[in-house]
Amino acid sequence: MNYRQLGNTELNISELSFGTWGIGGQWGTTNDDEALGALDRAMDKGVNFFDTADVYGNGHSEQLLARATKGKETSIHIATKFCRAGDIHDLENYSMQRVMEYCENSLRRLNRDRIDLYQIHCPPMEILQNGRVFEALEKLKEQGKICYYGVSVETVEEGLYCLDHTNASSLQVIFNIFRQKPLEILFPKAYEKGVGILARVPLASGLLTGKFNEDATFEADDHRNFNRDGQEFNVGETFAGLEFNKGVELSSQLDWLTEGRDSMSRAALKWILEHKEISSVIPGFKNVRQVEDNLQAVDTKGFSAGEKEKIEKFYRDEVQDFIRGGY
């Protein structure tokens, strides 16, 4: 495993880490024993960073992380998120009292004294511009409840605002072969300012595994079923903002990625890792097999300059006009 510094923080995190939305809920059937086994395998392979949120299974993924990392609190870093358990448009949801409550609840579920990275969970732009939530986060930092704070954003514009007007240590963004817009302005500026980048939805909710066809179905409680068109939350979080059938069509044009790389998913993750601005890429998982498969991306063959140009052209000519979700 290779490690990268998270921006200008003192955290050195595994360049391929894992998000825990899948083991918490909204990705279909889950199994706690399989999830715990997968977390153990990831840590055995050198993963020292996990991303979660208080709304993933109503705190269940945080509780699973507490069980899996017991006794490893100083060596395994955890990032969690807050605000979506309330009304994300209500300013009171970001008051000192409310943010403290969110933080204390996560600390209790994680069974930790402090949170390594505390992130606002995709707040609206008007909340970022108001600034009240950042005052609360600075106070939590002073109190030692959190080490650093960051923002999970939905749009490049939100990310740029955070870079210009806040002391956030990291940005979590949707970034993959289908979502390349952050490369234009956001990533260079974040890198210049020493702000870490966490790449989420790296496999476009499974589209970039190359395993789906147009007849694919998903369980009722899987967001790939109930949020295909943004019915419940930002459409960009599901299939990277692509309409499903269009996403399947586009993924079929990427078969060439597997040449010398074994699988499309490993290739897609490797492409992300080859960007110096990325602190860590955080694919999801449900079981040991998925953890092991994703981890092989670290040693997968890289991309030539010509291949990178081909991927950029593919995005520009075939993909970007079909993206929904604000990017």
* pLDDT > 90: percent of the chain: 88
More confident residue, 234 or 9: 9
State pLDDT tens for residues 182-239: 999 999 999 999 999 999 999 999 999 999 999 998 988 889 999 988 888 889 889 9
Residue 315 has pLDDT above 70, yes or no: yes
pLDDT at 325: 83
State pLDDT tens for residues 115-135: 999 999 999 999 999 999 999
Residue 28 has pLDDT above 90, yes or no: no
Contact 118, 103 (CB under 8 A): yes
How wide is the angle at C-alpha 218 spanned by C-alphas 258 and 210, nearest 5°?
10
Q: Model's pTM, two decimal places?
A: 0.95
Mean pLDDT (the chain) is 95
pLDDT at 27: 67
Band of the pLDDT at 29, cuts 50, 70, 90?
A: confident
Distance CA 51, CA 62 (A): 9
State pLDDT tens for residues 276-305: 999 999 999 999 999 999 999 999 999 999
Residue 26 has pLDDT above 90, yes or no: no
Contacts of 206 (CB under 8 A, 6+ apart): 212, 224, 239
pLDDT at 109: 98
State pLDDT tens for residues 52-104: 999 999 999 999 999 999 999 999 999 999 999 999 999 999 999 999 999 99
Contacts of 209 (CB under 8 A, 6+ apart): 203, 263, 264, 265, 268
pLDDT at 30: 80
| Dihedral, 40, 41, 42, 44 alpha carbons, nearest 10 | 90
pLDDT at 244: 93
State pLDDT tens for residues 237-281: 899 999 999 999 999 999 999 999 999 999 999 999 999 999 999
